[in-house]
Amino acid sequence: MHTVSFPKMKLISSKSSKTLPQKLQVQFLDRMSHLLNKGYPLLEALTILTWDERFDGLATEITQQLKGGKPIDVCLQASGFSRNVVSFLYFARMHRNLDEVFHQCSTMIQLENKYVNKFKQVIRYPAFLSVFLVIMLFVIDRTIFPAFLTMFQSQETGSKGLTVAVYITGFLITFVKVAGLLVVIVFIYWKIRKSSISLERQLLMYDKIPLLSDYHKLKTTFLFATHLHSILSTGVSMKEALHIMSNQSHYPLLSHQADIILDHLEQGATLAQAIHQCQMFRPELTTIFHKTSDLTTLTRDLAMLSEMLTDMTKQKLNNALEIIQPVFFIIIAVFILFIYGSIMLPMYQWMNQI
């Protein structure tokens, strides 16, 4: 059995200064998975890849780094592969099933590309309408409403109700602009300060935002099930597998959950009880550990849970994409009708008073 000893301190990953195109990453990972599955050793598979001019420089660079003693995940990180690929290959140090890991990484990137492109297609037209709506709101707020106020205030009778309507509409437009600006500011603040916010505070924030909490629970449970299954399949003990997860730095949230489990195990809790204390795990994971403590059965059930969560993620993404366009169109239509009504109805009432 081939194992790799992991250091007992948190690994600090360095960011690559370059990023490979995702299409090239998928092609490379697919080709490597195919060659490794045919029985070629890693270095020989990389040598074969140099025959293809698309991968010549990339395969040569990775080969040189491997011969220099660097692990495969560090080599791919330095060559510009995505963070998710590097993170999965970190756990692949434990076993020889690199062909399976390369295939998983290729599938993961293709799935990400598919839904990102689909999201761009779905959001394109609503985004165009939203920009048009914002411009229209700005023009109305700056030109039409001031003229209405001047006209209504000059009337001796019946102008109060019309003036109030215009003021309310103006207030709503201002509210939309301020809300949009706040969203942009919060987003920029989060991007800048995210790395400095403690994990405990992030968890508290996730608890207060249901959709964000569901997303992180799904992701963390999937990562835990996938990587624990791959590590246990090498024959290591459960405790050693949890230490490996705790010592990695690619997924801080996953490392934090592993620390919680280890702390409760040291206090005398069972594995099922310890996992139950992890707030970022879905209940399906707790059910698996309550059902059995046999490592062979656990490994099998974790693999099935990983597949189930993948299918669940696809379904949730499809449902979300199907909802986005109708919701955008309804919101935009309501705004347009409201603006049209706020302009035309006062006009009709004013004309009746003439």
Give 57-101 pLDDT, tens digit per residue: 999 999 999 898 888 888 888 888 888 888 888 877 765 577 888
Say if 106 falls within a structural domain.
yes
Is 108 buried (19+), middle (13-18) or exposed (0-12) by CB count in 10 A?
A: middle
> What pLDDT shows up at residue 6?
44
Burial state string for 213-237 with b = 16 or more CB within 10 A and e = fewer than 16: beebbbbbbbbbbbbbbbbbbbebe
Structure tokens at 42: 């890693």
Query: Is the pLDDT assigned to residue 310 strictly greater than 80?
Result: yes
Tracing tokens 């970022």 back to the chain, one arrives at 280
Mean pLDDT calculated for residue range 264-291? 88
Contacts of the segment 156-165: beta carbons below 8 A, 24+ positions apart: 157/353, 158/349, 158/350, 158/353, 161/349, 162/346, 162/349, 162/350, 165/342, 165/345, 165/346
Instruction: Compute φ and ψ for 54, nearest 5 degrees.
Output: -65, -35
Residue 263 has pLDDT above 90, yes or no: yes
| Averaged confidence pLDDT in the chain | 79
Q: How many domains does the chain have?
A: 2
Tell me if 288 is assigned to some domain: yes
pLDDT band per the 50, 70, 90 thresholds, residue 3: very low
Domain boundary among 50, 82, 110: 110
Residue 4: per-residue pLDDT? 41
> What value does the mean pLDDT take over residues 179-198?
80
Same domain, 100 and 210: no
**Per-residue pLDDT tens for 113-134?**
887 788 788 888 877 877 777 7
Whether the predicted pLDDT of 341 surpasses 60:
yes
In a domain, 167, yes or no: no
158 pLDDT higher than 80: no
- Written as one letter, the residue type at 321 is L
Is position 353 within any domain? no
What's the pLDDT at 134?
Answer: 73
Query: Of 110, 125, 155, which one is at a domain's C-terminal end?
Result: 110
207 and 94 within one domain:
no
- pLDDT surpassing 90 at residue 262: yes
What per-residue string of b and e applies to 324-347 under the rule 16 or more CB within 10 Å gives b? Answer: eeeebeeeeeebeeebeebbeebe
Shared domain for 322 and 205, answered yes or no, is yes
| In a shared domain, residues 207 and 97 | no
The residue to which tokens 């795990």 are assigned: 281
pLDDT in tens, 83-94: 888 888 887 776
Inside any domain, residue 337: no
Expressed as residue numbers, the domain containing 61 is: 22-110
Q: Is residue 257 part of a domain?
A: yes
> What is the structure's pLDDT at 352?
65
**Residue 206 within a domain:** yes
Q: Is residue 64 part of a domain?
A: yes
Q: What is the mean pLDDT of residues 262-269?
A: 91
310 and 206 in a common domain:
yes
Give the pTM: 0.70
